[in-house]
Amino acid sequence: MQDRVDGEGAAPLYLRVRDQLAARIEKGLLTPNTRLPSERILAEEHNTTRVTARLALAQLEAEGRIYRSNRRGWFVSPPRLIYKPTHDYSFSENVTAQGRVPATETLDVTPTQAGTWLAARTGLTVGDPIVWLRRRRQIDDRPVLVENIYLNPKRLPGIETYNFDRSLWKLLREQYGVELRGKQIEMYPTALVDPQASAIGVTAGTAGLYVTRCSRDADGCFVEFDEEFWLHDALSIQVDVS
């Protein structure tokens, strides 16, 4: 079986397989979270090789149209969550407002000290106390990100005792009267590696988006530094420009 169809300028066969699968997704014949046929079955359906089928699936994954779940196979990606970094809302509020179901799971809460890396990003002094929070967050029962949050216990005394399976922003407002004002946000593509990859249930090397946010209160006091490791197909970033 050749991997290129005949004719001048013809696309590689794996792209033609990709186009047929993408068309079925766009027409709603393959709905979100539907499991796709195996590579073997796809190869048989399209009269090609498993290598070609695998390339077509990899292309769709790179485009964010499908995702791979460890030991479960390939699935159609659900709609991306719209994320507006200049707006103030919690993850749960944003997900719910878009008709989806959020969930948060606390993985670990560890009182520790700021190291050189964190101090450089927050203005803390090396050795300052910090509370390190790890959480996994889901949309419609699918894990989409894991986050490391570093909280300032001097500004938030006793913060490590609270339940973090809820909105952190609401907790800061209700228990500490903190309104986050100054924020510095950075984001760029990355490859998810362990422990983040395994926490989300994907293979190390899966494409992801890395987002950091350093937040301060109205007086400029450091409150939290948030590292977010997102699946690349889960998020659509929008910025309103006036």
The 10s digit of each residue's pLDDT in 138-163 is 999 999 999 999 999 999 999 999 99
What is the pLDDT at residue 184? 87
What is the pLDDT at residue 2? 42
What is the pLDDT at residue 6? 42
Average confidence (pLDDT) over 187-200: 93
Question: Phi first, then psi: what are they for 213, rounded to 5°?
Answer: -145, 120
Checking if the pLDDT of 98 tops 80, the result is yes
Checking if the pLDDT of 88 tops 90, the result is no
- Residue type for 51, please? V
What is the pLDDT at residue 5? 40
The 10s digit of each residue's pLDDT in 100-118 is 999 999 999 999 999 999 9
The 10s digit of each residue's pLDDT in 70-86 is 678 899 999 999 998 87
Site of tokens 């967050």: 137
Give the whole-angstrom CA distance, residue 82 versus residue 157. 33
Over the chain, what HEC string results? CCCECCCCCCCEHHHHHHHHHHHHHHCCCCCCCCECCCHHHHHHHCCCCHHHHHHHHHHHHHCCCEEEECCCEEEECCCCEEECCCCCCCHHHHHHHCCCCEEEEEEEEEEEECCHHHHHHHCCCCCCEEEEEEEEEEECCEEEEEEEEEECCCCCCCHHHCCCCCCHHHHHHHHHCCCCCCEEEEEEEEEECCCHHHHHCCCCCEEEEEEEEEEECCCCCEEEEEEEEEECCCEEECCCCC
> Is the backbone peptide bond immediately before 195 cis, with ω within 30 degrees of 0?
yes
Average confidence (pLDDT) over 219-240: 92
CA distances for 236 relative to 74, 90, 99, 161, 233, angstroms: 21, 16, 15, 34, 8
Average confidence (pLDDT) over 166-184: 87
CB 210 within 8 A of CB 188: yes
Q: pLDDT exceeding 90 applies to what percent of the chain? A: 67
What is the pLDDT at residue 166? 87
pTM comes to 0.84
What is the pLDDT at residue 215? 92
Checking if the pLDDT of 8 tops 80, the result is no
